[in-house]
Amino acid sequence: MTSHTASGSRMFWAGIILLIVLTVFGIVMLVTYDSTPNGPVADISEGDWTKGAKGSLVLVEYSDFQCPACASYYPLVKQLMVEYGMRVQFVYRHFPLSQIHPNAASAAYAADAAGKQGKFWSMHDILFEQQKEWSARTDAPALFEQYATGLGLDLEKFKKDMQSEEVKKHVNDNVESGEKAGVDSTPSFYLDGKKIQNPRGYAEFKALVSSALSK
């Protein structure tokens, strides 16, 4: 009787342990299944705003024109392109954080509207360089119109394009591609398809690019 009881007890506890193991394993599997990994950064498309050498090392930035950190990285990226423009292709993608930057989306629309007249990069530079001027304004689009006039753009076309569904869709498509790639803050940089930690200065940024080019 004692032997059967001991055997039964061992089987009981073995069953409990197995149940615990299976339960934990199931939970781990569930977490793994539910935690969808970040996808790769989207390939360059015809709709992307790019500069530099095609078919070379690609640096992608997801950025917000109203983001102070993005403005601080703007001169670093600009210097990189001066130094490496024949070996690096830079891709700018919109990722306006509208919940904290109320003028970010309209700034993105302004840049794209200028791009429809061949002046995306000119507007891109003005928006970052003049960020403090328009960032806190409730009439920011009026300032964007002034910038457009200064660039010699057709103002009526610029205003129409700023409000167009095509421009808004392009910005939204950029945001969606960023979300799929794991963008959770701005700026977010992808070098050779891989997300990198934001460098702490130009020297560190340059070292990352030089290292990638040497591979």
First to last CA, the chain: 73
Tokens of 61: 């930035």
pLDDT at 187 > cutoff 60: yes
Asked if the peptide bond before residue 187 counts as cis, ω within 30 degrees of 0, the response is yes
Q: What is the domain extent for residue 84?
A: 49-214
Average pLDDT over residues 93-113: 98
Question: Is 42 domain-assigned?
Answer: no
In tens, the pLDDT along 65-88 reads: 999 999 999 999 999 999 999 999
pLDDT at 2 > cutoff 80: no
Q: How many residues does the chain have?
A: 215
Same domain for 172 and 204?
Answer: yes
In this structure, the number of other CB atoms found within 10 A of the CB of residue 128 comes to 21
Q: What CATH number has the domain bearing residue 111?
A: 3.40.30.10
Average pLDDT over residues 48-68: 96
Question: Is 43 domain-assigned?
Answer: no
Average pLDDT over residues 197-215: 96
Average pLDDT over residues 202-211: 97
Q: Quick one: pLDDT at residue 40?
A: 87
Same domain for 25 and 98?
Answer: no
DSSP string, 174-201: HHHHHHHTT--SSSEEEETTEEEPPPSS
In tens, the pLDDT along 118-144 reads: 999 999 999 999 999 999 999 999 999
Average pLDDT over residues 151-169: 98
Q: Quick one: pLDDT at residue 13?
A: 52
Domain total of the chain:
2
Coil, strand or helix at 98: coil
Tokens of 168: 């808004």
Higher pLDDT, 29 or 89: 89
Q: Quick one: pLDDT at residue 39?
A: 74
In tens, the pLDDT along 5-44 reads: 444 445 445 444 444 433 333 322 222 222 334 678 999 9
pLDDT at 95 > cutoff 60: yes
Contact 59, 90 (CB under 8 A): yes
Q: Quick one: pLDDT at residue 5?
A: 43
Question: Is 202 domain-assigned?
Answer: yes
Please provide the average confidence, as pLDDT, over all residues in the chain: 87
CA–CA distance, 20 with 123 (Å, rounded to integer): 61
Q: Quick one: pLDDT at residue 38?
A: 60
Tokens of 13: 């506890």
Same domain for 23 and 89?
Answer: no
Same domain for 24 and 68?
Answer: no
Same domain for 158 and 53?
Answer: yes
Q: Where are the alpha helices (DSSP H) in the chain?
A: 2-34, 68-84, 104-115, 120-129, 131-134, 140-150, 155-162, 165-180, 202-214
Question: Is 193 domain-assigned?
Answer: yes
Same domain for 4 and 87?
Answer: no
